[in-house]
């Protein structure tokens, strides 16, 4: 590996040699900006933009990103690879062990509240744990883990959550039975009804104003520091969230928020906006998992068999369906760039990176290229179950929910919600994917799947197949 040598002055004035990791050549840095950073920004970091999603799918933009990074790895070695974008120092993390280190050594010296994230998330969650620092971060994280029951596969309110998901699935399917099809807008509307009921309670079921307010704030957040704060809208949105916590509905996360004690400064209700925002990603993952199942008959049979086992109305762990959800996020990561900002100079095998460098873990490369072998472009829910499940979970390249002290504290809740919904949808219905002809069992899973365009034909189980 090439090294550049720089000379720094110590406080005593003596010269000290520092070996900096060599920056990417200008042409390669421009390639990273064009094929890695630009598609992520264009598709929308905080809320997805339909036109850019469609463009990315049609042009294979995301595949180019993976190929670009693979070529860089061949040329420069495992990195991290430093580059400067608009005067800011970044380093692309390519090696799974380096990714593990960055995520494990969080928040010091790799802090999750990078300036880009603070700028974006302040639009709707100024006190969220992800953008917090110091003791406040610790106390907010503790509170969030307690309410979401991070370590539990089945949340203490899973009984109630299961029944909410199944009620909304039944209503969605009643519409699909009438029309013979299921389109994204209907799926998404049902998903948001589920999310509002789980997070805020039944009184919020039809509060589409709240979701619309959040949507507008998220659109502003897509521009990070470039967009002015929508202070009035933010106040109205946060007041609406707080009103649900002030009159907590039984069996909702808001009830837990109101009941769980936390030190002053935690801003308990102020953690909720992140949950609402992040549940949107889980809806995308659920829709895409259904698309995978609609096009992979063997996997659909296995998933349906699991859905039909046991008591559907009681909470179940549904490991295979959880594997389907995990595969959906592995194949199409909803956080393609996991960012950490270094709080001090850090040392790597090939040299050093300065303090204030943003380390970017590019998950599409780790999830689809050699580090994800042997499954890479194959839909393989079985890799997350049983003995192999331990291997997948232990593989530092596979980061659907990130990992370490700032890893997703909602993972189990997401897997519970998505697997319960998929089970309810599969029990008595079969699906064929009317959109996306490129999704086929024999072909590599495409690098992008525009969820806004998803359209299924729906058949009662027993008539038709999952691949008609
Ligand atoms: C498919 C759905 C989801 C995926 C793939 C996902 C993934 C992630 C990832 C990758 C991070 C790390 C972000 C970073 O470091 O920049 C994260 C953080 C977080 N997620 Fe999720 N998430 C999902 C849904 C949820 C839900 C539904 C909740 C809450 C109910 C949630 C709560 C959080 C919180 C609070 C953090 C910040 C943790 C911290 O900073 O300590 N997530 N999630």
Ligand 1 site, residue 413, Cβ cutoff 6 A: yes
pLDDT tier for residue 193 given thresholds of 50, 70 and 90 = very high
Please tell me the predicted confidence (pLDDT) of residue 17.
44
CB 369 within 8 A of CB 378: no
CA distance 412 to 317: 10
Please tell me the predicted confidence (pLDDT) of residue 1.
34
In a domain, 160, yes or no: yes
Give strand pairing partners of 288: none
- Sequential DSSP letters for 10-71: -TTS-EEEEEEPPPPPHHHHHHHIIIIIHHHHHH-SSS--HHHHHHHHHHTHHHHHHHHHHH
Ligand 1 site, residue 282, Cβ cutoff 6 A: yes
Which domain does 378 fall in, by range? 7-460
* Nearest CA-CA partner of 224 in 107, 134, 358: 358
Say how many Å lie between the CA of residue 277 and the centre of ligand 1.
9
Query: Which residue's CA is the closest to the ligand 1 atom numbered 5?
Result: 401
In a domain, 210, yes or no: yes
In a domain, 467, yes or no: no
Q: For residue 389, what is the domain's CATH number?
A: 1.10.630.10
The number of distinct structural domains making up the chain is 1
Average pLDDT for 273-297: 97
Question: Please, what is the Cα angle at 157 between 151 and 162, to 5 degrees?
Answer: 105
The residue count of the chain comes to 468
Query: What is this structure's pTM?
Result: 0.93
In a domain, 465, yes or no: no
Ligand 1 pocket: which of 107, 274, 410 to mutate (most atoms <8 Å of CB)? 410
Please tell me the predicted confidence (pLDDT) of residue 462.
64
In a domain, 55, yes or no: yes
Average pLDDT for 403-430: 98
Ligand 1, atom nearest to 399 Cα: 10
CA distance 104 to 93: 14
CB 434 within 8 A of CB 456: yes
Please tell me the predicted confidence (pLDDT) of residue 8.
40
In a domain, 395, yes or no: yes
pLDDT tier for residue 244 given thresholds of 50, 70 and 90 = very high
pLDDT tier for residue 124 given thresholds of 50, 70 and 90 = confident
In a domain, 218, yes or no: yes
Residue 463 pLDDT greater than 70, yes or no: no
Range 95-112 burial, b when 16+ CB lie within 10 A, else e: bbebbbbbbeebbebbbb
More confidently predicted of 48 and 149: 149
Q: Which residues contact 370 (CB under 8 A, 6 or more apart)?
A: 70, 376
Alpha-helical (H) ranges within 60-133 are 61-76, 96-104, 115-121
Q: Which residues contact 135 (CB under 8 A, 6 or more apart)?
A: none
Ligand 1 site, residue 278, Cβ cutoff 6 A: yes
Among 358-362, 373-377, 388-392, where is mean pLDDT lowest? 388-392
Say how many Å lie between the CA of residue 434 and the centre of ligand 1.
31
In a domain, 2, yes or no: no
The model's pLDDT over 67-97, given as tens digits with 9 standing for 90+, comes to 999 999 999 999 899 999 888 999 999 999 9
């Amino acid at each position: 590996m090439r090294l550049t040598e720089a000379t720094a002055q110590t406080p005593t004035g003596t010269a000290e040699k520092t070996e900096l990791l060599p920056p990417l050549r200008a042409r390669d840095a421009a390639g990273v900006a064009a094929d890695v950073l630009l598609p992520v920004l264009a598709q929308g970091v905080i809320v997805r933009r339909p036109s850019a999603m469609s463009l990315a799918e049609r042009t294979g933009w995301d595949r180019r990103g993976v190929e670009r990074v693979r070529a860089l790895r061949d040329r420069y070695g495992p990195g991290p690879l430093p580059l400067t974008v608009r005067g800011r120092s970044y380093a692309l993390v390519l090696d799974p062990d380096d990714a593990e280190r960055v995520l494990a050594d969080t928040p010091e010296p790799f802090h999750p509240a990078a300036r880009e994230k603070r700028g974006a998330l302040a639009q709707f969650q100024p006190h969220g744990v992800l953008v917090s620092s110091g003791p406040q971060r610790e106390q907010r994280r503790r509170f969030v883990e307690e309410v979401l029951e991070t370590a539990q596969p089945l949340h203490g309110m899973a009984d109630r959550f299961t029944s909410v998901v199944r009620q909304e699935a039944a209503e969605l399917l009643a519409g699909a039975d009438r029309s013979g099809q299921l389109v994204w807008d209907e799926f998404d509307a049902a998903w948001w009804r589920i999310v509002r009921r789980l997070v805020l309670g039944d009184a919020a079921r039809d509060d589409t104003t709240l979701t619309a307010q959040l949507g507008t704030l998220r659109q502003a957040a897509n521009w990070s520091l470039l967009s002015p704060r929508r202070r009035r809208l933010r106040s109205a949105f946060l007041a609406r969230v707080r009103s649900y916590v002030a009159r907590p509905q039984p069996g909702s996360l808001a009830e837990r928020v109101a009941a769980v004690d936390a030190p002053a400064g935690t801003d308990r209700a102020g953690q909720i906006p992140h949950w609402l925002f992040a549940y949107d990603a889980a809806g995308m993952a659920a829709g895409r998992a259904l698309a995978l199942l609609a096009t992979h008959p063997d996997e659909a049979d296995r998933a349906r068999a699991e859905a039909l086992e046991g008591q559907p109305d009681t909470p179940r762990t549904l490991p295979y369906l959880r594997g389907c959800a995990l595969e959906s996020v592995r194949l199409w990561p909803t956080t393609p760039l996991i960012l950490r900002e270094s709080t001090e100079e850090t040392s790597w095998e090939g040299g050093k990176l300065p303090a204030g460098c943003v380390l970017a873990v590019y998950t599409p490369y780790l999830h689809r290229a050699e580090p994800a072998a042997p499954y890479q472009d194959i839909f393989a829910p079985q890799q997350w179950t049983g003995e192999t499940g331990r291997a997948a979970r232990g593989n530092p390249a596979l980061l659907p929910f990130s990992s370490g002290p700032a890893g997703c504290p909602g993972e189990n809740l997401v897997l519970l919600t998505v697997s319960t919904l998929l089970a309810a949808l599969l029990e008595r219905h079969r699906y064929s994917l009317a959109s996306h002809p490129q999704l086929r069992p024999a072909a590599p899973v495409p690098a992008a799947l525009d969820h806004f365009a998803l359209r299924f034909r729906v058949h009662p189980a027993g008539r038709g197949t999952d691949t008609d």
